[in-house]
Structure 1
């Protein structure tokens, strides 16, 4: 992976991570079109640059992160389902990532849902402005649906918020907050296992020699590519979040739904024409 490829992927990550269009779907397709999807470093890179996207949420909403202990407790409740189910089904999720048709179909079906979701949750009486522990737990389970490649973590968790009588803005912002611990866990796990090549037992026992060996095995150019990717993802995600909150509040989900359907259908058409799209 060269710097330009890293920048392109980082821009896609920053633009799509917090929009309901599936960052995973866009990243795997983009890496495939650039011919770098087969490299192990690419898979790790696409997860690791989430650190930059995470930081954008912390910076934009920094006051929320010094709000109260209750805020962190609710986030913990919200991410527990994803952590448990994600760990248990990691091999299943990885297998689905290898199937481009899963991504395409998920994009289309998710797009159809977004086209109609504004009508389903049009009238919100006495909207929830501060999620309860129950609200957080329910939204956390909705987020787990996004383990299916192409579904979109943002879309799943926002819709989960709407089912809990939140406004679009409140649901979107809670989705951003949930993304921080969820993506932090995923990115950290990827760094430890894919970049440092550690086993679970090494992590649990904090096997220092293995940690040192893993760090020593990273090439200087790989560090540089990771740094550039995270900086670009951070800047782009900042702009994307600002745009998304304003757009969603004013116009809703329909445009994102049409976009997802279009992208999904294009992928299915390419597959029908025999054009090979490799995701791994």
Structure 2
């Protein structure tokens, strides 16, 4: 019961933070030289779909960003031909902020499922658990590369890589890479599970994984994929690599969620509303709990190969979809 109350408290604080930071300067948009966005609420089914997609794919090595961009395009979210170019740009920023803010649900799912490990880290902060303190240091080391490079290249990445074709390319290349690694490991290891535990991880190993995480700034690559593979390459067991990926994700996704909420929160809630945000976060939380539980069980027995086939398949299917819709539009 204590854990559930603790999580419920965090959920409430997260939603309040999103709401108040977004509304902090409400009513001042008229003074902004950028054209105000026309009120256009997101429907409940759309919010549910985005929440499900976010929750199911955030920690799977398939790229949540790529799936969210595809879902937005299929449902036509943010695509209004009657808007001016300035309004379309603002709507795109609002949609991007929304899909990042509902990551709060996926973050809370890991806090819920790994409450014992989070508690250990917190005890390490106050000097009561040496293993927790070491793990906190390693998570921080893994986060730093993405924090620095993300701030430097955030605008460039959103301008040039947040589109369907870059995602398709990343899906395909990532899928082929997974299959190549899986086939190689199958021949070399024959299912052995040797490696270091999370408690034995060094800061050098964490830093290497952190730089690998930066590759996932390309939408479609998948943060989970590169951090899990990075963990395996530096010598962690599959279980340790997956758990570290989850813990690193809490910090990385939390920072991205806070940054976009503070920067675009007001615009997001003017374009959509509080209710859409709450629905997205809650549904993402539920879907992420299911996804993480399944993933941990599956990877401990089978490995990553199935995700390689999935990525190749969705890359091909999305290519057909994009080409078909373009041909229909031309006709």
Q: 1:220, CA displacement in angstroms? A: 11
Query: Is the CA contact (8 Å cut-off) linking 1:146 and 1:152 kept in structure 2?
Result: yes
The one of 40, 44, 47 equivalent to 1:6 is 47
Matched, 1:25 2:66: yes
**Could you give the per-residue CA deviations for residues 224-276 of structure 1, whole angstroms, max 9, x where no partner exists?**
11111111101110110000011111111111111110111122223444628
The one of 144, 149, 171 equivalent to 1:85 is 149
The CA distance in 2 between the partners of 1:55 and 1:161, in whole Å, is 23
Q: 1:42, CA displacement in angstroms? A: 2.0
After superposition, the Cα gap between the structure-2 partners of 1:177 and 1:121, relative to the gap in structure 1 and judged at 3 Å, is: farther
List alignment gaps of at least 5 residues for structure 2. 1-41, 80-90, 121-131
Aligned residues between the structures: 258
The CA distance in 1 between the partners of 2:162 and 2:140, in whole Å, is 30
The one of 241, 265, 276 equivalent to 2:316 is 265
After superposition, the Cα gap between the structure-2 partners of 1:106 and 1:224, relative to the gap in structure 1 and judged at 3 Å, is: same
Query: Is the CA contact (8 Å cut-off) linking 1:96 and 1:148 kept in structure 2?
Result: no
Q: 1:155, CA displacement in angstroms? A: 0.3
The equivalent of 1:60 in structure 2 is 113
- After TM superposition, the structure 1 = structure 2 runs for residues 1-280 of structure 1, keeping only pairs within 5 Å, are 1-38=42-79, 39-40=91-92, 41-67=94-120, 68-121=132-185, 123=189, 126-130=194-198, 131-196=201-266, 218=269, 222-273=273-324, 275=326
The CA distance in 1 between the partners of 2:110 and 2:168, in whole Å, is 28
TM-score, length basis structure 1: 0.86
The CA distance in 2 between the partners of 1:274 and 1:225, in whole Å, is 28
The CA distance in 2 between the partners of 1:37 and 1:251, in whole Å, is 39
Superposition RMSD on alpha carbons, in Å? 2.1
TM-score, length basis structure 2: 0.74
After superposition, the Cα gap between the structure-2 partners of 1:219 and 1:269, relative to the gap in structure 1 and judged at 3 Å, is: closer
**Moved segments of 4+, more than 4 Å:** 217-221
**Could you give the per-residue CA deviations for residues 172-231 of structure 1, whole angstroms, max 9, x where no partner exists?**
11100000010001011110111136xxxxxxxxxxxxxxxxxxx945971111111111
Query: Is the CA contact (8 Å cut-off) linking 1:104 and 1:268 kept in structure 2?
Result: yes
Residue range with higher mean Cα deviation, 188-197 or 23-32: 188-197
Query: Is the CA contact (8 Å cut-off) linking 1:47 and 1:187 kept in structure 2?
Result: yes
Q: Provide the secondary structure at the position in 2 that maps to 1:20.
A: coil
Query: Is the CA contact (8 Å cut-off) linking 1:172 and 1:245 kept in structure 2?
Result: yes
Q: 1:121, CA displacement in angstroms? A: 4.2
The CA distance in 2 between the partners of 1:229 and 1:181, in whole Å, is 20
Whichever of the two has the greater Rg, that structure is 2
**Could you give the per-residue CA deviations for residues 58-96 of structure 1, whole angstroms, max 9, x where no partner exists?**
110111112122221111110000010111111221023
Query: Is the CA contact (8 Å cut-off) linking 1:96 and 1:149 kept in structure 2?
Result: no
